Structure 1
Amino acid sequence: MSIDRESYIPVHQQVAAILRQRIESGELRPGQKMPSETQVSQEFGIGRDTARDAFGVLRAEGLIETEKRVGSTVRVPPPVEPVDVPGPARITFRLPSPEERRRLPVGQGAVVVVIEREGEAPVLLASDRTELVIPR
């Protein structure tokens, strides 16, 4: 795949889409080191800032994790745990606060699930590790 410089889609978004496809197809596997920003910029003929922006998109989507001085790796999906949600309950989703991100912990790009029931304290869960089960 190549990027289309005439497209209305920003170049960093196009590069992110190509890398995303490589992850989803299994060409880049969970736990595998991603190519460096320099390698991506050379492959696509783009600047390192554009490559960095593409990696930022994938990080925000929760597809990769980046560690300073180590680089980026394809994120290993955490195990998903089913959580029973008997009604009546109100379920919302939102971005976590920095403290909630540390406490839960919530993966990069993931939101928190907030389950509220009358008379009870809200329950916060990491969306990337939770499957809501609502009984019939």
Structure 2
Amino acid sequence: MIDPSADRAVFRQLADLLRNRITSGDIAPGSPLPSELRLAQEYGLSRTSVRQAMALLRSEGLVIVEPPRGTFVRTVEPTETVTLRKGDTASARMPTPAERRELEIGEGTPVLVVSRADGSHELYAADRVRVSR
């Protein structure tokens, strides 16, 4: 239940409710979330508050937005291991739209840039890679 008189902002309360449903498996990976309008009506919130809650969940990597289809619970992708050798470095950043399309990653997911000692660069979706030495 959302309590407008609580110290916690209503959009954060909604994000908490949806996050709990997602992490508990009540809303399965790949499943759509209710529309902004439906959530606003169901919880007595403004669409702005619902959008803020969705933005928070998107920034946490729990949901993806597929315009115009809607918002969906992210599916867990298999991970690969990237081995860093002597002189290699790794850094994270947000991808360009072209990189997001190329790597097929949702909005809000960072990329890992591996700079090899030989000057080459490799790009990975940060949520699908594990780095080892």
> Could you say which TM-score interval applies, normalised by the shorter chain?
0.7 to 0.9
Deviations 1:50-98 (A, max 9, x none): 1122112222222112223422221112221122222332221111122
Aligned to 1:99: 98
Mapped contact 2:32–2:70 kept (Cα < 8 A): yes
Alignment-derived partner of residue 31 in structure 1: 30
In structure 2, what is the Cα distance between the partners aligned to 1:26 and 1:123? 34
Gaps of 5+ in 2: none
Q: 2:89·2:114 contact (CA, 8 Å) conserved in 1? A: yes
In structure 1, how many angstroms separate the alpha carbons of the residues matched to 2:100 and 2:23?
A: 25
**CA 1:126–1:7: 2 relative to 1, 3 Å:** same
Deviation of residue 100 (structure 1)?
1.9
- What is the identity, as a one-letter code, of the residue corresponding to 1:120? G
Q: Is the 8 A contact 2:86 2:117 kept in 1?
A: no
Separation of aligned partners in 1, 2:87 and 2:68: 48
Preserved CA contact (<8 Å) 1:107 1:128: no
The root-mean-square deviation of aligned C-alpha atoms, in Å, is 1.8
1:26 CA displacement = 0.6
Name the CA distance, whole Å, in 2 between partners of 1:67 and 1:95. Answer: 18
1:35 Cα deviation from its structure 2 partner: 1.6
| In structure 1, C-alpha distance between the alignment counterparts of 2:13 and 2:64, rounded to whole Å | 19
SS in 2 for 1:5: coil
For structure 1, list consecutive stretches of 5 or more residues without a partner in the other structure.
Answer: none
Question: Which letter maps to 1:93?
Answer: A
Identity %: 38
Q: Output the amino acid matched with 1:123.
A: E
- For residues 18 and 39 of structure 1, the distance between their equivalents in structure 2, rounded to whole angstroms, comes to 15
Task: Judge conservation of contact 1:61–1:108 (CA < 8 Å) in 2.
Answer: no
Shift of 1:22: 0.7
Q: TM-score, normalization: structure 2?
A: 0.86
User: CA 1:70–1:117 in 2, change beyond 3 Å: closer, same or farther?
Assistant: closer
CA contact under 8 A between 2:31 and 2:73: conserved in structure 1?
yes
CA distance, structure 1, for counterparts of residue 95 and residue 68 of structure 2: 26
Distance 2:52 2:79 in 1: 29
Deviation at 1:6, TM superposition (A): 3.0
Residue 130 (structure 1) shift: 0.9
